[in-house]
Structure 1
Amino acid sequence: MKWTTEKIFTHPLGILAAATGATFLWGSAFPIIKLSYAELEIGKGQVYEQILFAGFRFTMAALLILALMKLMGRSVGYQRGSWQGVAKIGLSQTLLQYVFFYYGMSGSTGVQGSILAGTTSFFQILIAHRMYADDRITSRKLTGLVVGFAGVVVVGLSGGATGVHFGLAEVCLLAAMFFGGLGNVLSKKESVRLDILYMTSYQMLLGGLALSTIGAAGAGVMPFEFTWRAIGMLLYLAVLSALGFVLWNTVMKYNQVGSISMYLFLIPVFGVFLSAWLLSEPLHLTVWLALALVAGGIVIVNRKPTPADPAPTGARLKA
């Protein structure tokens, strides 16, 4: 049997590998970013420096994808009529998401940031519910979301948090997760007519250059003293961004948003495990409970529907 891209990314094992791989890469970003900040002496309140660092990361990620396209013999030139769709994705998935994210993280705790990161799935499923006639929220999806989000809450509270503060920083984090979910759904829509590598590279390039411009306006063009270690971590962050978004956008292209979104709950779980390993942070037993809840939510959302909960048959945009 000939394995096409569509067959690979619609096969259960292909979906599992791609979605888990992308979320693992994104989860690994949390400890690497913290290590990068320490290496470059970027303080908690230095928002412009954080945004500039993010701009460097995504611009480099875009250039890596473009270089890969050249090696594959693909054209990297502008595709007529694509600028509007690419600009919308870059605005939401890269620029707005990370402006709000870095500002929000500067005033919130890591625990609350981890909890709120799981809300991307909620926003993504809600947006898809409005945009796609065959990707409605069902009782099965709702149950899976509740179970999976419970795992995210357990991950956050495993650090010993006893209360929840909600202010401007937390509102910004929620805004970041909303724009991330919106960007993912827009990517799925545009991938019908645009090549995944082309779409991902140019949206990252536009968003990365915009982030760099904003950061440089407040911190200068090059406020960092890069060491070889810092360069290595920046390169890793760029590679994980490029590979993570290519994997995620591809699996989103060929599958319903509602069934794939659950995998986003794995990001904070991977982040906790990798932080425990790389940053020597304590790993609480409750994290294992969180992992079980997240896995259970994924199983619930992706199990074979019963006759009372029929699966949609196509991907038609609402008129």
Structure 2
Amino acid sequence: MKSTTEKIFTHPLGIMAAATGATFLWGSAFPMIKLSYAELEIGKEELFEQILFAGYRFMLAALLILLFMKLLGRNIGYQRGSLLGVARIGLFQTLLQYVFFYYGLSGSTGVQGSIIAGTTSFFQMILAHYMYASDKISFRKVVGLVVGFAGVVLVGVSKGTLSLQFGVAEICLLLAMFFGGLGNVLSKKESERLDILYMTSYQMLFGGLVLAVIGACGAGVMPFDFTWSAAWMILYLAVLSALGFVLWNTVMKYNKVGSISMYLFLIPVFGVFLSAALLEEELHLFVWAALALVVGGIVIVNRTKAVQTVARKE
């Protein structure tokens, strides 16, 4: 018999609400991180400050989830046998993803970062091919991959020219999306035996703690001059991480990777328009074309199963 949680997160409206909510939160992270850098005067080359800021964000997010668990009367103590699984997810979903993400975003615009974020769906699909027998790559998926990555390449085309501006920052963002996709697939595996709130909070605590230690080694424990605006920003980033990952990991637990991955196309959509609104970044022709290709590629990749299901019914 299905639990109440499973009924909610397997219902079409529940899936749509959870997945859309998570992707909106993640999309809003792009302009908010850029605004945080400006408020705290964190420069492009200040890598340790970037890593330290990320560490504080994810430790705070983990503590918020643990507090929520405590209010629900749930056990927040260590669960025997969970260390390796939680550490593995924390390594990829938090530590490695956000080391590359924070550095990459410091040298890129919010719009560019948002579009590149769409590649998470592609990486997740490729990894699922090797980790799940039911999620094999088909010709249609290959077409989607080519279309989507064409959009990522187009991100590097500067306004008004045909020259490519795809450098270290953009490569770091691609690596971040790869590690994020790997973390998502691993979290689905671990969620079969671990509670979602427990798994998400402790992987964030592990990843955030390591990030903070690395950052503190190079920048000190508190190199920032926190204003009220900066404090609000890091709180918002912590809340969006906590809520976003809980929603996403839960919906991933009860549904197939391929059927949920399509919603990841909303990250670049939300990210692009929120960056344009909050950072006043221009949406020129190349941006629109790149966004269209990335979204189109994700839709092509993830419509495969739906099309095949309809064909079998006919």
TM above 0.5, one fold?
A: yes
2:104 maps to 1:104? yes
Distance 1:147 1:17 in 2: 27
Residues 14-50 of structure 1: CA deviation (Å, up to 9, x unaligned): 2222111111101101111111111111112111111
- Once the 2 structures are TM-superposed, how far is the Cα of residue 245 of structure 1 from its aligned partner? 0.4
- Once the 2 structures are TM-superposed, how far is the Cα of residue 104 of structure 1 from its aligned partner? 3.1
Aligned position for 2:205:
205
In the alignment, is the contact (CA less than 8 A) between 1:120 and 1:177 conserved in 2? yes
- Once the 2 structures are TM-superposed, how far is the Cα of residue 7 of structure 1 from its aligned partner? 2.3
Aligned position for 2:82:
82
Indicate the RMSD between aligned Cα atoms, in angstroms: 2.9
- Once the 2 structures are TM-superposed, how far is the Cα of residue 140 of structure 1 from its aligned partner? 4.1
Identity of aligned residues (%): 77
Query: What residue ranges of structure 1 are gaps of 5+ in the alignment?
Result: 312-319
Residues 229-275 of structure 1: CA deviation (Å, up to 9, x unaligned): 11011100000000000111111111121222232222122111111
Distance 2:223 2:260 in 1: 39
Residue type of the partner of 1:58? Answer: F
In the alignment, is the contact (CA less than 8 A) between 2:144 and 2:298 conserved in 1? yes
- Once the 2 structures are TM-superposed, how far is the Cα of residue 298 of structure 1 from its aligned partner? 5.8
2:233 maps to 1:233? yes
Residues 137-167 of structure 1: CA deviation (Å, up to 9, x unaligned): 2344444555555666677769667432445
Worse-superposed segment, 183-192 or 128-137:
128-137
Residues 59-92 of structure 1: CA deviation (Å, up to 9, x unaligned): 0000000000001110000111001000000011
Residue type of the partner of 1:243? Answer: L
Distance 2:107 2:288 in 1: 28
- Once the 2 structures are TM-superposed, how far is the Cα of residue 4 of structure 1 from its aligned partner? 2.2
Aligned position for 2:11:
11
Worse-superposed segment, 154-163 or 8-17:
154-163
Worse-superposed segment, 113-122 or 284-293:
284-293
Residue type of the partner of 1:274? Answer: L
Residue type of the partner of 2:116? Answer: L
What's the TM-score, normalizing by structure 1? 0.86
Aligned match of 2:308 in 306, 309, 319?
306
In the alignment, is the contact (CA less than 8 A) between 2:115 and 2:155 conserved in 1? yes
Residue type of the partner of 1:23? Answer: T
Worse-superposed segment, 132-141 or 166-175:
166-175
In the alignment, is the contact (CA less than 8 A) between 1:269 and 1:290 conserved in 2? no
Worse-superposed segment, 75-84 or 152-161:
152-161
Aligned position for 1:262:
262
Distance 1:218 1:8 in 2: 45
Aligned position for 1:22:
22
Worse-superposed segment, 266-275 or 290-299:
290-299
Worse-superposed segment, 294-303 or 165-174:
294-303
Do the aligned partners of residues 9 and 140 (structure 1) sit closer, same or farther apart at CA in structure 2, a change above 3 Å counting?
farther
How many pairs align? 311
What's the TM-score, normalizing by structure 2? 0.87
Distance 2:308 2:60 in 1: 46
Aligned position for 1:38:
38
1:216-295 aligned within 5 A: 216-284=216-284
In the alignment, is the contact (CA less than 8 A) between 1:103 and 1:172 conserved in 2? yes
Do the aligned partners of residues 263 and 269 (structure 1) sit closer, same or farther apart at CA in structure 2, a change above 3 Å counting?
same
Distance 2:190 2:65 in 1: 18
Residue type of the partner of 2:224? Answer: F
Do the aligned partners of residues 294 and 8 (structure 1) sit closer, same or farther apart at CA in structure 2, a change above 3 Å counting?
farther
